[in-house]
Chain A
Amino acid sequence: MSSFQAVAGKAAQVAGLLAGVVYQGVSTLFGKAEKSSFDEMSRRLDGALRALRGEYVPTSAGVATPDKTYHQTAEGMVNSCASAGKMGASTFIVPAGVTFTVPAGVTFTVPAGVTDVAAMKPLGEEVSTSCAVATTKKTSRQTAQDMVDSHEFDSRTGVSTLTVPAGVTDVEAMKPLGEEVSTSCAVATTREASLQTAQDMVDSYEFDSRTRVSTFTVPAGVTDVAAMKALNELFSVRYGLQRGAIFAGELTWFENLPREFSAYCEQRDYLQARQIKVIGVFKGTKGVPLAGQERKLQKHSCVFSDPRDQALAAAIHACKHNQADLFGGSWVRGSVPGFALHTDDEHGVFVFRQDGRAEPDVAASGSPRAGTKIS
Chain B
Amino acid sequence: MQDEKQKKEELLEVLRAEVARLLCADDVSEEEKLSRIKLAQAIIESGEV
Residues of A participating in the B interface, judged by any CB pair closer than 8 Å? 3-4, 6-7, 10-11, 14-15, 17-18, 21-22, 24-26, 28-30, 32-33, 38, 40-49, 51-54, 56, 58, 62, 65-68, 71-72, 75, 79
Residues from chain A with Cβ under 8 Å of B15 in the complex? 26, 29, 45, 48-49, 52
Report whether B49 and A62 are in contact in the complex, using a CB–CB cutoff of 8 Å.
yes
Q: A11-B23, A45-B14, A49-B14 are in contact. Are A32 and B39 (CB under 8 A)?
A: no
Residues of B participating in the A interface, judged by any CB pair closer than 8 Å? 4, 7-8, 11-24, 28, 30-49
Report whether A6 and B20 are in contact in the complex, using a CB–CB cutoff of 8 Å.
yes
- Interchain Cβ contacts under 8 Å between A and B, 27 examples: A3-B20, A6-B20, A11-B23, A18-B23, A21-B38, A22-B19, A25-B41, A28-B41, A33-B8, A38-B8, A41-B8, A44-B44, A45-B11, A48-B40, A48-B41, A48-B44, A51-B36, A51-B43, A52-B19, A53-B18, A56-B36, A56-B39, A58-B39, A62-B48, A68-B43, A71-B38, A72-B39
Q: How far is the CA of A15 from the CA of B38 in the complex (A)?
A: 14
Report whether A25 and B23 are in contact in the complex, using a CB–CB cutoff of 8 Å.
no
Residues from chain A with Cβ under 8 Å of B36 in the complex? 51-54, 56
Residues from chain A with Cβ under 8 Å of B42 in the complex? 65, 67-68, 71-72
Report whether B44 and A32 are in contact in the complex, using a CB–CB cutoff of 8 Å.
yes
A60 to chain B, nearest CB (A): 12
Q: How far is the CA of A136 from the CA of B30 in the complex (A)?
A: 33
Q: How far is the CA of A14 from the CA of B12 in the complex (A)?
A: 22
Report whether A25 and B20 are in contact in the complex, using a CB–CB cutoff of 8 Å.
no
B20 to chain A, nearest CB (A): 5
Q: A14-B33, A18-B34, A44-B44 are in contact. Are A68 and B39 (CB under 8 A)?
A: yes
Residues from chain A with Cβ under 8 Å of B19 in the complex? 7, 22, 26, 52
